[in-house]
Amino acid sequence: MRQPSLRVSHFWPGRRPGQERRNRDATAGPSRDHHRGRTRNRGGRGAGHRRARGSVVLGDLLEAEGEAVAAAIRAAGGQAVFVRTDISKAADCARLAAAAVERFGKLDALICCAAILQGATLQAEALDEAVFDRVLSINLKGTFLTVKAALPHLRRADKGVILLMGSEAGTKIPSSSLAYGSSKGGVHGLAMTLEGQLAPHGIRVNDVCPSSIATPMRIENLVDRARAAGKDPEAARAQAIQDAGDPTGVANILAFLASPEADYVRGTIFTR
């Protein structure tokens, strides 16, 4: 069995297992492939950290939550390192990838889950240019910079894996935010283009597009939309928690896709 590695900003190192709201990723692998390493950008709040196991490097701006996730992975028997990372900065992404390789010796898988959602419900003429730039800087440019930093290491892996977190919004349905929808549409296009470029080099790229998942970012988005519509925000919060999908379901999909068992999976995966 090949020895896996790690990913950055969603990096899997050494081994790969079988106000501004941020949905971060964490990197970890399924128990069936516990020997592999990976890296993830952002790991404290979203779906990624729910299945983090094995050898993982996590990147996020939120240090307390990132360190807590890394500690939880170690307590469960895995290996995890947290690196404070701003994925809109190329130097931070490079440092994250380097940390994965330095700690675990290689990089097998990268999961890019970091995102923010701002400007919900605003028409184009009311959306500030700075907000639009900020969202694309994190969601789209940050994904590109993370992939760029990880690629030299993934090219040396045995069948490296890149998983980009897209969204149903911006690919199949409109988003409540022009900036967010544009950024996720861009991530979708980035994944398709990377897939064509990297397949000849043995690197698999998948674009994972969840629907309504009960992450803090999604719940607060629904609360904001209710408030803007003059509805009870707390009632909207309760309804969102009841109706939205469990982030663990998406984490299970990410864990599978990062494993060798997913070698025949191609393209975009839409989840609940």
Give me the active site residues, please.
Answer: 180
DSSP strand pairing (204-209 vs 161-165):
parallel
User: What tokens were used for 226?
Assistant: 């209710």
The token duo for 163 is 């998983």
DSSP 29-63: --GGGTT-EEEEE--SSSSGGGG--SEEEEEES-H
Please tell me whether residue 218 adopts helix, strand or coil conformation: helix
Q: CA-CA distance, 43 to 58, in Å (whole number)? A: 6
**CB contact at 8 A, 216 and 23:** yes
- Residues 57, 37: Cα–Cα separation, whole Å: 8
State in Å, rounded, how far the first CA of the chain is from the last one: 32
227 vs 45: CA distance, rounded Å: 23
**For the chain, what's the residue count?**
272
